[in-house]
Amino acid sequence: MSITSIRLNKDVDKPLESLAKKLDRSKNYLINQAIREFLAKQSLEESRWQDTLEAMASIQAGKSLDEDDVNAWLNSWGTASRQSKPQK
């Protein structure tokens, strides 16, 4: 475990102190939880950004489907005449 020192503004420290008391947890615990959640969120956002870049590259390479074909396929779901998925 490493030690990092931070300065908290009063508008953060006071509510943090209150929450720590209410939850019967230390401020350190709450700060670590907040950082874990922030890092997880950032990781998810990075993953989504990479997916977006891949999708954009795919479109630029001409690997896209016609909207009408996709809608017809989706609208056939749950019917007796379900279509096979559109191909490019």
Alpha helices in 2-66 (DSSP H): 10-23, 27-60
What is the token pair recorded at 52?
């977006």
Long-range pairs for 83-87 at CB < 8 Å and ≥24 separation?
A: none
State the pLDDT at residue 33: 98
Is residue 17 within 8 Å of 27, Cβ to Cβ? yes
- Tokens 């690997």, located at residue: 63
pLDDT at position 1, please? 86
pTM, 2 dp: 0.69
Task: Give the residues of the chain that fall short of pLDDT 70.
Answer: none
